[in-house]
Amino acid sequence: MIASLETTIRHQALKLGFDACGFTHAETPTHFPAYQAWIEQGMHGQMHYLERHQEKKGNLQQVLPEVRSVITLAMSYHTREASVQACELGPRGLVARYARHQDYHTALKQPLESLCLELEDIGGAGHVHRAYMDTGPIMERDLATRAGIGFIGKHTNLISRSLGNWFLIAEILTSLELKPDQPEPNRCGHCSRCLDACPTQAIPEPFKLDARRCIAYLTIELKESIPEPLRPLIGGRVFGCDDCLAVCPWNRFAREGHLMKSVFRDDLEEADLLKWLELDDASFRKKFRDTPMMRSKRRGLLRNVCVALGNLGDIRSLPALEKAAMDPEPLIAEHAQWAIKQIESRQESNCH
């Protein structure tokens, strides 16, 4: 019996180390109007790149004119070693789980390119294929839901029945005509754990995220000062936040992935805040080269470290913060000064 085109592609994807593979059509994403409304409401904050190419996000033919189908791939970054309580251990910070690995763009580039090459053999001559991994103007979560990879939870992230919340996705737009998989229905039910868990109440209602309050946005995407009312709510998180993901009941089915497991960085599981505060530009680049944390640059990461120390530190943190308060980078100096005031205020309260 000859295997179908879809079965052959799925087999090759799993053989290359991907944890799931699904197929969908190339029609307009279901949630495109909602996405446009979200942008119009300004809930994307300063992520102005999301405003661009909206016409392409609503029409995949403008991305690849020959597109007929979309192959969606999932890669788990779940690790048994990860701890969601690290931010409560004292002056040690917490890094989002996905960032405790080599940059996924690097780690997954080769297998993604290899699958595209396989498609040229499987599908025959005359077809075109284009791969993306949050690098193109396409609505990835919408396509993944249609392809049966998972469903969009109330926290607006994808949830998989076999991978929980801990996975990344990539897509291949192709001119091959592939049979679509069944879309994954929403399975959140009455659960609202993710909404309740958000420290900054960035999920004002189910399926709606106000990025301007999200700790992942504040510690990664925001390039300016973090609003002072939100700083105490960040706790010890120095790069991203997993709180809404970590409480999801579907994580009981999470399993380690094949591709990401080999590029796990155990030295990033917890942040030694005082040591990280000492990083100059060269040592920052050396430590975080080829990790997602390069995105924040030194100024952004040390800004976050200062906030974490302001929330978790004690008088032993003051010498390092006083030095940081003199940093030539104004963003770091400002947040260090704030952290010093926070610690001194706590000390005064403890003395009375």
**Cα–Cα distance, 31 to 38 (Å, whole number):** 11
Whether 184 is covered by a domain: the verdict is no
Whether 114 is covered by a domain: the verdict is yes
Whether 150 is covered by a domain: the verdict is yes
DSSP state of 102: S
Q: What's the first-to-final CA gap in the chain, in angstroms?
A: 81
With beta carbons less than 8 A apart as the criterion, state whether 151 and 159 touch: yes
Active site residues: 134
Domain that holds residue 113: 5-80+99-174
pLDDT at 151: 97
Whether 239 is covered by a domain: the verdict is no
With beta carbons less than 8 A apart as the criterion, state whether 190 and 224 touch: no
Whether 204 is covered by a domain: the verdict is no
pLDDT at 352: 60
Whether 319 is covered by a domain: the verdict is no
Whether 18 is covered by a domain: the verdict is yes
pLDDT at 89: 45
Q: CB count, 10 Å around CB of 345?
A: 11
Reference 143, options 304, 19, 28; nearest CA is 28
pLDDT at 86: 40
With beta carbons less than 8 A apart as the criterion, state whether 193 and 206 touch: no
Whether 136 is covered by a domain: the verdict is yes
pLDDT at 1: 53
- For the chain of 352 residues, list the mean pLDDT of each consecutive stretch of 10: 86 96 95 94 94 91 96 93 44 94 94 95 90 92 97 98 96 97 96 98 97 98 98 97 97 92 90 96 97 97 98 95 98 98 89 65
Structurally, how many domains does the chain consist of? 1
pTM assigned to the model: 0.93
**Cα–Cα distance, 102 to 261 (Å, whole number):** 10
